[in-house]
A and B are shown apart, each in its own frame.
Chain A
Amino acid sequence: MNSLDDLYREIILDHYRTPRNRGELPPPAVRVEGFNPLCGDEIVVHLAVTDGVIADIKLTGQGCSISQASSSLMSAAVKGKSLEQVRAVISSFKQLMTLEESVDQSPANLRSLGEIAALQGVVKFPVRIKCATLAWNTLAQALDELPS
């Protein structure tokens, strides 16, 4: 049986109750809205990039604990990172959210993910995967919209 404790880890509840990097950034920061029409989760990512590095990231939005905690964890994980590193983190996170057996869930690999590994329990609750991935898809879209 899937335990709720796998889903609602303490780190997740903490990020839900006290979200990091809340707020907005003025232009020229990139602003992208993500929306989950099925459950109404909403994330707005504001991204300021200088010299190929995420100088600042701010988020607004509303939704369930998983969507909001995931966005908070994401913001902490990517702030100050190079765009290349950020793309790598996004792809590791997407891996974590897949149901395939082949995905490396070894302790060492999870450790390399840092705090975002707390979200691995979400895969046991497949309807909630889209809650967890919303922020990350929105961030990926923001990266695509950066002026080159």
Chain B
Amino acid sequence: MATFDARMVRGDIAQFNRVINNHPLTYLDSGATTLPPRTVLEAMNRYYELHHANVHRGVYQTAAEATAIYEGAREAVATFINAPGGAEEVVFTKNATEAFNLLAKSWGASQLKSGDVVLLSEMEHHANIVPWFQLRESHGIEVRFIGVGDDFRLDLSNLDELLRGVKLVSLTGMSNVLGTINPIKDLARAAHAAGALIALDGAQSVAHSATDVQDLDVDFLAFSAHKMLGPTGIGVLWARRELLEAMPPFLGGGGMIADVSVNGFTFAPPPARFEAGTPPIAEAAGLLAAVRYMSSLGMANVAAHEADLTADALTRLAGTFGERVRIIGPSNVVDRGGVISLDVQGVHPHDVSQVLDQHGVCIRPGHHCAKPLMKRFGLSATARVSFGPYSLVQDTDALLEALADAVSMFG
């Protein structure tokens, strides 16, 4: 039975005890990376202290323990996302970005030919754009974009037309700039009806609501551990078994082979095929702990908590600042997550963030690796606030106070 209390989550994170510029830390940058709870750090420490050994093929006890931890993480992730084929469908990468590169450079390069279309959206992160542009250069594929409407949602009015000739649709579950949550289940149905596969960028969505790949009926899923209370250095590409089996290796080396002789090599079955070299074992231990922790909170509870915080923040931002602070994203919490991009009239996002830092408030200015989206709305940057499971209304209080300071300083 899941229990959720944001104050308890906060209590599990030592960084919240810090004082920054004479103010308690107000961390509102979970969209960039989340703060890991103690249990994640302890799991990594315990691994290094007691179980550290290289994984696979080790006969001695600690090597078997390290392997069990590493493979246990794979099992836990498979359960967390409800992978139909279990742990063997879970490939560990460095992060979501590497997962997309693996997808484009292995699946894309082997399955797509000149003229095939990959359909993205204007709200994608560069991680889900640049690898496809690279494939366009090397393989002559076409990259097409679903536009974003003035309501900050995907413009699906001409979807049938956009889907023509498409082999893969690759979309974010939740925009890391707008907070918009996309109708992935509907889009998966439309993609499949058009004969295309669909990849989900779960970097933002996985940490803030439940992700069930069978219910969504997606074919690929990419995400990073560090955005879901886990450590940096490990991410996931999940794909249905038969898709992984058809994919050639991405990187070559130890661990990914079936056999090597002076004449050549044959490669291992998935997921080992895609994990050349010593993998991020301690990070897998951390990810395992993070998955257990998030599961114990209950993803529905996390989503509800963040929706409450977001609704409160949107109302108070509008009430306090009116036209002075424009929200670049949906103004209500329907199909919207806890990422709030601000455009403060007369104060550049970097200056907003600088003033907020003086209040111990951490937000992120910039283009958030989504330049096509920035261009769409005629902006070069926004000041982005984002919540996590440990966020509290008091964080919004601090945000509003610091923002008022920024607004009055710049007049």
Seen from chain A, the residues whose Cβ lies within 8 Å of a Cβ on chain B are 1, 4, 7-8, 13, 16-17, 38-40, 42, 62-66, 68, 125, 128, 131
The reply to whether B381 and A39 form a contact with Cβ atoms under 8 Å apart is yes
- In the complex with contacts A17-B411, A39-B366, A63-B348, A4-B381 CB distance below 8 A: no
User: Inside 8 A of A1's CB, which chain B residues have their CB?
Assistant: 21-22
- In the complex with contacts A1-B21, A64-B348, A42-B354 CB distance below 8 A: no
Interface of B is mostly: mixed
Nearest B residue (CB) for A65: B351
User: Inside 8 A of A131's CB, which chain B residues have their CB?
Assistant: 350
Cβ < 8 Å to A, chain B residues 375-411: 380-381, 409-411
User: Inside 8 A of B367's CB, which chain A residues have their CB?
Assistant: 40
The reply to whether A128 and B411 form a contact with Cβ atoms under 8 Å apart is no
A39's partner among B346, B350, B411 (CB-CB below 8 A) is B350
The reply to whether A4 and B365 form a contact with Cβ atoms under 8 Å apart is no
14 contacts between A and B (CB under 8 A): A7-B354, A8-B351, A13-B409, A38-B366, A39-B365, A40-B366, A40-B380, A40-B381, A42-B380, A64-B348, A64-B350, A65-B347, A65-B350, A131-B350
User: Inside 8 A of A62's CB, which chain B residues have their CB?
Assistant: 380
Q: How far apart are the CA atoms of A52 and B348 in the complex, in Å?
A: 36
The reply to whether A125 and B381 form a contact with Cβ atoms under 8 Å apart is no
The reply to whether A13 and B350 form a contact with Cβ atoms under 8 Å apart is no
> Smallest CB–CB gap between B138 and chain A, Å?
24
A4's partner among B22, B348, B354 (CB-CB below 8 A) is B354
- Residue of A16, A65, A131 most packed against chain B (CB within 10 A): A65
Nearest A residue (CB) for B22: A1
Q: Is the CB of B358 closer than 8 A to any CB of chain A?
A: yes
User: Inside 8 A of A4's CB, which chain B residues have their CB?
Assistant: 354-355, 358, 409
Q: What are the 5 A-B residue pairs with the smallest beta carbon separation, nearest first?
A: A64-B350, A64-B348, A40-B380, A65-B351, A40-B381
A17-B411, A42-B380 given; 7 more Cβ-contact pairs under 8 Å: A1-B21, A4-B355, A38-B366, A39-B381, A63-B380, A68-B348, A128-B354
User: Inside 8 A of B355's CB, which chain A residues have their CB?
Assistant: 4
> Smallest CB–CB gap between A75 and chain B, Å?
19
Nearest B residue (CB) for A7: B354
Cβ < 8 Å to A, chain B residues 253-291: none
User: Inside 8 A of B358's CB, which chain A residues have their CB?
Assistant: 4
- In the complex with contacts A1-B21, A39-B366, A125-B354 CB distance below 8 A: yes
- Chain B, 347-381, contact with A by CB distance < 8 Å: what is the 0/1 string? 11111001100100000011100000010000011
- Residue of A38, A40, A125 most packed against chain B (CB within 10 A): A40
Nearest B residue (CB) for A37: B367
> Smallest CB–CB gap between A33 and chain B, Å?
14
